[in-house]
Structures are given as structure tokens and as C-alpha cells.
Amino acid sequence: MKVVLLGYMASGKSTVGRLLARQLGLEFIDLDEYIEEHQKKSIKNIFSEKGEIFFRKLEHQMLSEVLDKEESIVLSTGGGTPCYGNNMETILKESDLSVYLNLSIPSLVERLSKEKEDRPLVKNIGEEELPEFIGKHLFERRPYYLQAKHTLDCNGIDAETAVEQIKKLL
């Protein structure tokens, strides 16, 4: 059994994924953490020292590696994972369930304005520019996210409720 969570930065993939895996008794893999362990470096430092293209190639390679495993897993992807190369195709082919955690722009702005520091793509975006940046970025990315088998509306629900909803899809 392979469950894959996807969605924009700060939509809750890591939080919900960890909780879901614990409740299902499955191994949890967070693709960002997996990459950090492989490189022995934070995502922030990978971006600043090696650049985004290096990161995207590594992300592509690590995604295939993780989905190739025999074991049942819950995989939380990075915010950009489905949007590069044939990653979304791989996710659809290799997973039993894929869920897009959908959150409104205002909610994403609220969460990201508090947690920009470790997220290189938004780190240098000012408070005023954040809604416009996220709006445009989501416009580009949503077509990929929407290819997931299911879309879960995460507005106004806590992580525990999101987990309950995903369990119903299994």
C-alpha cells in the first residue's frame, strides 16, 4: 500500500502524513527529509549551495527510489515534487492512493508568513507580495496537483480531521 500526499508549501503534507502513517501503522517518509538525510544538508542549504536545478534532479531521483520500495508507506512529497519532469506520472503509476491537500490562498499566506525562513522559494518574498506570489505560483502548479486521485479540502479542518477524511478514502 502506497499513499502519497501532495500540495502547495505549508498545506500540511508533512504534518498530516506523519499522523496518518502512525494511525495506519505504516512507515512514514517525508521526501524533503529523505533528501536532507541523503545530502546531509538542509533543503535551505542545498538550494543556496547547489541551486534549484540540482535539487529538482535529486528530488526526481529520490521520488523514484522511494516509490520503488516494496514496503507499504505514506509519502509526503515536497511542494514542487509533482510539477517537474514526469514526477506526477510516476506518483499516479506507483501509488494506490494520491491526495491533494487543497488550501485557499489566504490560508496558505497566513501559514507561510509565519514559516518562510526554511522555505527557500518564499524566504525573500515580502509580506505585501506574498498573496500575489502564491496566487500566481498556485495557478501554475494546480493543474499538476489536481491530477491526484482525490482532492481534500483542508480549509478550516485540523490535521486530525484531515487524517480521518483520508482514511475514509482507503
Ligand X SMILES: O=C(O)C1=C[C@@H](O)[C@@H](O)[C@H](O)C1
* Residues engaged in binding ligand ATP (CB under 6 A): 7, 9-16, 32, 76, 78-79, 111, 115, 119, 154, 157-159, 162
Among the listed residues 7, 12, 79, 82, the single contact to ligand X using CB under 6 A: 79
Helix, strand, coil percentages for the chain (3-state, nearest 5): 55, 15, 30
Exposed e or buried b per residue across 2-32, where buried means at least 16 C-beta atoms within 10 angstroms of its C-beta: bbbbbbbbbbbbbbbbbbbbeebebebbbbb
CB of 70 to ligand ATP, least distance (A): 25
Residue 13 assigned to a binding site: yes
Query: Residue 10 binds which one of Mg ion, ligand ATP, ligand X, none, with CB within 5 to 8 A depending on kind?
Result: ligand ATP
> Using CA atoms, how far apart are residues 14 and 36, in angstroms rounded to an integer?
14
Nearer to Mg ion, 13 or 116 (CB): 13
Among the listed residues 14, 77, 81, 90, the single contact to Mg ion using CB under 5 A: 14
Read off the DSSP letter of residue 1: -
- The count of C-alpha atoms lying within 13 angstroms of the C-alpha of 6, restricted to the half-sphere facing its C-beta, is 27
Nearer to ligand X, 2 or 119 (CB): 119
With CB under 6 A as the contact rule, which of the stretches 78-86, 87-95, 107-115, 158-166 interacts with ligand X? 78-86
Among the listed residues 43, 103, 162, 163, the single contact to ligand X using CB under 6 A: 43
The set of residues, in sequence order, having a beta carbon less than 8 Å from that of 130 and lying 6+ positions away, is: 109, 112, 113, 122
Of 16, 19, 21, nearest in space to 1 by CA:
21
Residues that bind Mg ion (CB under 5 A): 13-14
Binding site per annotation, positions for ATP: 10-15, 119
Binding site per annotation, positions for substrate: 32, 56, 79, 141
